Amino acid sequence: MANPVSIRLLVAEDVPQVSQHVRNLLSVQSHVQLLEVLSDGSKVLEAVNQLRPDVVMVDLLLQGKVKGPQLIERIRDSGLDIPVVVLTVPQHPLARDPNRGIEAVLTLPFSGFELVNTLTHVLLDRQARTSGACRVISVFSPKGGVGKTTIAFNLAVSLAQMGVSTALIDGSLQYGDLRSLLKVPSDVPSILDLPTDKVQESDLRDVLWRDPAGIDILLAPPRVEMAEMITPRDIEKTISLLRRLYEAIIIDTPAALSETTLALLDGSDTVLSVVTYDSTTIHNTIALAEVFSSIGYPPDKIRYLINRSDSSGGIGKDELMRALGRRLDFEVVSDGRLVVSANNEGMPFVVSAPDAAISRDVRRVAEALLGRTAGASVRH
Ligand SMILES: Nc1ncnc2c1ncn2[C@@H]1O[C@H](COP(=O)(O)OP(=O)(O)OP(=O)(O)O)[C@@H](O)[C@H]1O
Ligand SMILES: [Mg+2]
């Protein structure tokens, strides 16, 4: 079978004959790269962190301080989101059980074809689940005050209104824009309340704030200096867990491109770059497009949204597109009165004034991001 996938494999196996068997099978093919075989189960999590395998294979009968079943459990509970293939013998039959972290089972003796096939299927399954089921969209701009928080909140609520289970992450970690927008008390849990080493789905559910508008919000810490306690790795783990629970994740971000903001953007499928008709914003947006391209973001990861699109301040739409070297994907009109009063009440305008032009614009963005319309929604 032609197989385009390259799989990085880590093996936990303490029987030399079995490791040799796996090495022999893999030596005659190029789809699977064997990173390492560890005979000590207690070293596996550290190796997973360092080597970043796509799949870990664990011998059910692994002996030592951390035995096979215990290791499988630890990997599942680590929040690292690495699929485990369990290797066993006919005397110890075992069924596939993703809830227990067992994505597939291989019973000895198996052929090279079975081995590669199993690993490939596990990986393709995982990719289909993570990329297909959940859309992660961050709302970003290198300039402050362009409407990121307003758009992120209303976009998330629009998605929820369309029946899409949606989480909103307050990625403005220092100031917690959503905490103040929604007037959430400071003792409500934040991203900091997620355990760092062992994040599980149940932990996440306890930490998210349920907004009456139908979305779940992962708040930023209640105090500015606490933002420093969050690492890019925490963000990566949080997004990967939320992906399993929701169909859409919207991320509000701050204007500064810090390590943590970059982790939020890295973890997103789409970066919705908010632009306004303002020369500094346009200048910074162009500078940033170069950064995105140099760090390897594919061009279609970035979508441009012009906010307050009817307040052009003398700059034409065509001129803006020429400067960006790109089409604008979306536009949202200005509505100062509605936006200010809705924001002051912590109420999404897509709920309080669903027929307003601005609400229709935001809904159009939601539909396009879900692939339910032709895509771009810019009036010409
Ligand atoms: N389409 C719009 N029409 C009218 N006013 C708007 C619109 N979008 C945003 N605003 C107003 O602009 C101001 C800034 O909005 P918001 O806080 O959402 O921006 P931000 O990009 O998140 O800012 P920051 O960089 O500080 O996080 C708010 O007062 C908001 O009411
Ligand atoms: Mg903001």
Residue-by-residue DSSP string for 130-160: IIIS-EEEEEE-SSTTSSHHHHHHHHHHHHH
Distance between terminal CA atoms of the chain?
49
Assess whether the C-beta atom of 334 lies below 6 angstroms from ligand 1: yes
Q: What is the pLDDT of residue 30?
A: 85
Q: Is the pLDDT of residue 197 over 80?
A: no
Ligand number nearest CA of 331 is 1
Residue of minimum CA distance from atom 23 in ligand 1: 145
Cα 337 to middle of ligand 2, angstroms: 18
Q: Is the pLDDT of residue 235 over 60?
A: yes
Cα 145 to middle of ligand 1, angstroms: 5
Assess whether the C-beta atom of 255 lies below 6 angstroms from ligand 1: yes
Contact between 235 and 220 under an 8 Å Cβ cutoff? The reply is no
Q: Is the pLDDT of residue 110 over 90?
A: yes
58-65 mean pLDDT: 97
CATH superfamily of 7-130: Response regulator (3.40.50.2300)
166-187 mean pLDDT: 91
Q: What is the pLDDT of residue 132?
A: 58
Ligand number nearest CA of 274 is 1
| Helix 112-127, helix 16-27: angle, nearest 10 | 80
Cα 150 to middle of ligand 1, angstroms: 6
User: Residue 58: how many CA atoms within 13 Å on its side-chain side?
Assistant: 32
Assess whether the C-beta atom of 172 lies below 6 angstroms from ligand 1: yes
Q: Is the pLDDT of residue 320 over 90?
A: no
Higher pLDDT, residue 173 or 356: 356
Q: What is the pLDDT of residue 93?
A: 94
Q: What is the pLDDT of residue 131?
A: 56
Assess whether the C-beta atom of 343 lies below 6 angstroms from ligand 1: yes
71-83 mean pLDDT: 88
Assess whether the C-beta atom of 149 lies below 6 angstroms from ligand 1: yes
The tens digit of pLDDT for each residue in 348-380 reads: 999 999 999 999 999 999 999 887 654 445 565
Q: What is the pLDDT of residue 226?
A: 87
The tens digit of pLDDT for each residue in 111-165 reads: 999 999 899 888 877 766 655 578 999 999 999 999 999 999 999 999 999 999 9
Minimum-distance ligand 1 atom for the alpha carbon of 307: 1
Q: Hey, which of 140, 143, 149, 150 would you mutate to test ligand 1's pocket, going by the most ligand atoms within 8 Å of its Cβ?
A: 150
pLDDT band for 196, please (50, 70, 90 cuts). Answer: low
% of the chain exceeding 70 in pLDDT: 92
Q: What are the distances in angstroms from CA 174 to CA 1, 171, 194, 226? A: 51, 8, 17, 7
Ranked by mean pLDDT, which of 8-17, 91-100, 119-128 comes out on top?
8-17
Q: What is the pLDDT of residue 2?
A: 37
The structural domains of the chain, with segments of one domain joined by +, span 7-130, 133-369
Q: What is the pLDDT of residue 316?
A: 83
* CA 306 centroid distance within chain: 24
79-85 mean pLDDT: 86
Ligand number nearest CA of 147 is 1
Assess whether the C-beta atom of 336 lies below 6 angstroms from ligand 1: yes
pLDDT band for 200, please (50, 70, 90 cuts). Answer: low
Minimum-distance ligand 1 atom for the alpha carbon of 336: 4
For 222-245, give one letter per residue: b (16+ CB within 10 A) or e.
beeebbeebebebbbbbbbbbbee
Assess whether the C-beta atom of 332 lies below 6 angstroms from ligand 1: yes
Assess whether the C-beta atom of 338 lies below 6 angstroms from ligand 1: no
Any idea of the CA torsion for 349, 350, 352, 356, to the nearest 10 degrees?
A: 90
| One fold for 7-130 and 133-369 | yes
The tens digit of pLDDT for each residue in 262-306 reads: 999 999 999 999 999 988 999 999 999 999 988 888 888 999 999
User: Residue 155: how many CA atoms within 13 Å on its side-chain side?
Assistant: 32
CATH superfamily of 133-369: P-loop containing nucleotide triphosphate hydrolases (3.40.50.300)
Assess whether the C-beta atom of 335 lies below 6 angstroms from ligand 1: yes
Q: Is the pLDDT of residue 312 over 50?
A: yes
Minimum-distance ligand 1 atom for the alpha carbon of 343: 31
Average pLDDT, the chain: 89
CB atoms within 10 A of CB 185: 8
